[in-house]
Amino acid sequence: MAISRHNLQTILMPLAMVVGVSLCRPLAGLEAASGNMLTPLLIASMLFITFCRIDIREMRLRWIHLWMLAVQFVGAVVVYYIAELLFGVTVAQGAMICVLAPIAMAAVVIAGMLGANVAPMVTYSLICNFVTALLVPPMLHAFGNGSCTFIEIIGRVAPTLIAPFVVAQLCRWLLPKVAGWFASHSIISFYLWLFSLILVMGRTTLFIMNAEAELYVEILLAVIALVLCVAQFSLGRWMGRFEGDIVASTQSVGQKNTIFAIWLSLNFLDPVASIAPTAYIVWQNLINSHQIWKYNKRKVA
């Protein structure tokens, strides 16, 4: 019996995660051989395809965006102090960064696959990353072991978020037929995301294997990441009931730019804290797989 496209998507996501875990060493070698540019290139490409669907006139700031920012920054401080009181500074830093990390680049792609209105998400992605670049440096100075700058953070997010958005909007203006073709073939972004998921899972697995931390600390950080992942997805879902787009809100609050969070942890926090956002990668992709499975099941029914 032929497998439908929806069922194929459901199968491919967990399969991609298994492949990434199984081939972690050669995948890490492939990423290193590309100068660590392969994953950012894949993310930028899939965002370009998604952004070709966005009419800039539909983008506007909404009240829920401000509440999401409050969850990100106020929530990060609250989580830090609670975790520090219970478990110490290293675990507190790991917990904080799981909340402080901005919305994931791929969140817009996943939300689009789940039927969300992606224009408000693109607006929030741009605002969130700009505010992150402004507020994260003083927060890392207060709660971390080092300091970064606005320019350093913008330099991390601009190539994979801002550049694809600008190029996509120029394409819509100058080459509307090309932009229209990409917009009507947005399924391509799903397969690009699958490949990037394989690479990210490979790097994640190898990182955890090579982590120099006591086992109980690793387990504790992974469990806290799971709790925070479920809590943020749930909170985003609750907030979305007031806005009218549950999917967009769920992805905006719950799906984090974990690669960026790991970079912050390794460079400006206790490196052991990076185990938390590393584990968050696994949890959020399991949740995404489940969401897409449920969505496809309802769509086929």
Q: Which pLDDT tens digit goes with each residue over 123-132? A: 999 999 999 9
Position with higher pLDDT, 245 vs 211: 245
Domain boundaries, the chain: 37-300
Q: What angle do CA 73, 106, 42 make, to 5 degrees?
A: 130
Q: Which residues contact 27 (CB under 8 A, 6 or more apart)?
A: 20, 198, 199, 202, 203
Say whether 177 sits in a helix, a strand or coil.
Answer: helix
The confidence score (pLDDT) of residue 29 equals: 86
How far CA 132 is from CA of 153, 162, 163, 174, in Å, comes to: 8, 14, 17, 32
Q: Of the CATH numbers 3.40.1000.10, 3.30.1330.120, 1.20.1530.20, 3.40.50.300, which one belongs to the domain with range 37-300?
A: 1.20.1530.20
The confidence score (pLDDT) of residue 2 equals: 43
The confidence score (pLDDT) of residue 230 equals: 97
> Cα–chain-centroid distance for residue 6?
23
- Are 44 and 163 in contact by the 8 Å Cβ rule? The answer is yes
The confidence score (pLDDT) of residue 5 equals: 58
Q: Which residues of 78-103 are buried (b: 16+ CB within 10 A; e: fewer)?
A: ebbeebbeebebbbbbbbbbbbbbbb
Q: Could you tell me what percent of the chain has a pLDDT over 90? A: 37
The confidence score (pLDDT) of residue 7 equals: 61
> Distance between CA 124 and CA 211 in Å, rounded?
34
- Is 228's pLDDT higher than 50? yes
Q: What angle do CA 208, 212, 214 make, to 5 degrees?
A: 95
Residue 233: band (very low, low, confident or very high) from pLDDT cuts 50, 70, 90: very high
The confidence score (pLDDT) of residue 145 equals: 76
Quickly list H helices, 148-274: 150-157, 163-174, 176-184, 187-210, 215-243, 246-254, 258-268
Position with higher pLDDT, 193 vs 300: 193
Instruction: Say how many C-beta atoms besides its own lie within 10 A of residue 216's C-beta.
Output: 8
Residue 6: band (very low, low, confident or very high) from pLDDT cuts 50, 70, 90: low
Residue-wise pLDDT for 74-99, tens only, equals 999 999 999 999 999 999 999 999 99
> Distance between CA 80 and CA 21 in Å, rounded?
30
- Is 288's pLDDT higher than 60? yes
Taking residues 100-110, report their average pLDDT: 88
What's the mean per-residue pLDDT of the chain? 87
Q: Which amino acid is at 39?
A: T
